[in-house]
Amino acid sequence: MQTLDKTQTKFGQLTVRLSEIIDIESASSLLHWDQATYMPVRGASARSRQLATLKQISHEKFTDPKIGELLEDLRGYEQSLPYDSNTASLIRVARRDYDRAARVPAAFMAKLCRHQADSYEAWASAKATNNFAAVEPYLEKTLELSRQYANFFPEYEHIADPLIDRSDYGMKVSILRPLFAQLRQELVPIVEAIASQTPADDSCLHQNFAEAQQLEFTRTVVERMGYDFQRGRQDITLHPFMTNFSIDDVRITTRVYKDHLDQALFSSIHEAGHALYELGNSAEFEGTLLAGGISSGVHESQSRLWENLVGRSRGFWECFYPQLQGVFLRQLGHVTTDQFYKAINKVGRSLVRTDADEVTYNLHVAIRFDLELAMVEGKLSVHDLPEAWNDRYKTDLGIVPATDSEGAMQDVHWYVGTIGGMFQGYTLGNLMSAQFYETAVKINPEIPVEIERGNFTVLHDWLKQNIYQHGRKYTAVELVDRVTGSALSIEPFVRYIRHKYGEFYVV
């Protein structure tokens, strides 16, 4: 009895410490949100300093050896509880996060952060002037630091694994490489087939659409999906993102272009998908490490599920297109639902990942994934990156960028992060989105019909029940298995693509 009391005291001490750290992280998130939405331009330099200070405090507090001791003392307690009890799960997730953080010296993290800030600046100006040579030394240092980071985890199977693990815990090169290779094998011929046929006409999306009305429309759409404006809000930014400051304050951002109707629309649905995940966490997880999403991949599966499998489906627009026409009668009055549906699903070979359609998107990701692996493995030098990039674009997508700014410098990722571990989440997300959705519809065959009626309750409830509520309790691998009854696979995604695009094209 006394031991249990003592154990519970220790568990209490752990949660108090963790809650303090989570509060600091939430404050950081708000500073970031403000920086990306409302901060006056001149506020930037103090803001960077403030963010660095908060990061350092939370890192110091989290790697305090006292947390390690408490976790050690709680090991027996954890093992005495069912694996999926909240208490055991919290201790398990805390240990995982702590072990990762404590292995990397604070001085190294500070060095990495400083380098990333410098590297970002170098990239922004090199991209503007198409000068890859100017970022080479930065990228070389990033590569060196990425390898150093990995070596704090010398038990790795592949040197990129510890880098992948940062955002997609449990995923490894030995799982991902074959998966991505199979996917590429399936997709390259489909893309080739589509590219040889008449492209869809998406000119209806590129007219003059008043920004305020676009915003108002996206607001009603995400509200219908179940996004609750009492627990969130939507603001304008440059690069849309979702962020949260608690389970009851999960915000989305979007960008609105007068002549690109799809931007505000699909970025809003995408970010609302991320937000529904976090809003759907079990309320008991508030202020604990169990709140949030498991991994980049699982998070992206929710945004892509809503954006693509739901938001780019015919049924979705059976419901919403007449309303959208009502808002933009002059521009869309003469465009049929079918024409609009084809326009938002136009497939084409393009150079920029973020503008890519859902068929070609994963080819972009696979290219980066393979190139970053080759670099950390030492098989590709930074100097040879642009050439390797262009070769792969030629092979996989049949086009070659005219400049490195549209090529190896197009994404910010390697210039603000590590080399290795930066891209797999996007494709994992696409694969899982199809696998989850296929299961949801198998169990609730009424979902597509309900969507046509603008009713998302069955789908939303199923996702909440099976995915959202669990927060970070299960790993991605466990979750896929629990929810779908099978291991992660490319099959559902390929089936989805073949089925959907088989309607327009010979694939």
Residue type, 8: Q
Alpha carbon 207 to its chain centroid, in Å, reads 30
The smaller minimum CB distance to a second copy, of residues 20 and 64, is found at 20
Show the tokens assigned to 462: 């199923």
Answer yes or no: is 20 a known binding residue: no
| DSSP notation for 424-458 | HHHHHHHHHHHHHHHHHHHH-TTHHHHHHTT--HH
Find the binder of a second copy among 6, 8, 46, 499 (CB under 8 A): 46
Site for a second copy, residues 254 to 313, rule: CB under 8 A: 286-287
Q: Is 41 in the site for a second copy (CB under 8 A)?
A: yes
Least distance to a second copy, CB of residue 55, Å = 11
Active site residue 271: yes
Decide the pairing of beta strands 249-254 and 234-236: parallel
Show the tokens assigned to 361: 């998107």
Residue type, 110: A
Q: Is 55 in the site for a second copy (CB under 8 A)?
A: no
- State how far the Cα of 465 lies from the Cα of 373, in Å rounded to an integer: 36
Show the tokens assigned to 171: 């995923």
Q: Is 355 in the site for a second copy (CB under 8 A)?
A: no
Compute the residue count for the chain: 507
Q: State the catalytic residue, choosing from 69, 136, 271, 307.
A: 271
Phi first, then psi: give them for residue 238, nearest 5 degrees: -90, -45
Q: Is 27 in the site for a second copy (CB under 8 A)?
A: yes
Pinpoint the alpha helices (H) of 280-313: 296-304
Answer yes or no: is 300 a known binding residue: yes
- # residues near a second copy by CB under 8 A: 39
Site string for a second copy, 228-247 (x = CB under 8 A): xxxxxx-x---------xxx
The interface region with a second copy, picked from 43-51, 72-80, 318-326, 395-403 by CB under 8 A, is 43-51
Least distance to a second copy, CB of residue 429, Å = 26
Burial-class residue 441 by CB neighbours within 10 Å (0-12, 13-18, 19+).
middle
The smaller minimum CB distance to a second copy, of residues 41 and 506, is found at 41
Answer yes or no: is 274 a known binding residue: yes
Q: Is 49 in the site for a second copy (CB under 8 A)?
A: yes
Q: Is 23 in the site for a second copy (CB under 8 A)?
A: yes
* Contact by Cβ (8 Å): 120, 75: no
Q: Give me the active site residues, please.
A: 271
* Binding positions for a second copy, rule: CB under 8 A: 19-20, 23-24, 26-28, 30-31, 34, 38-43, 45-47, 49-50, 53-54, 57, 228-233, 235, 245-249, 251, 286-287
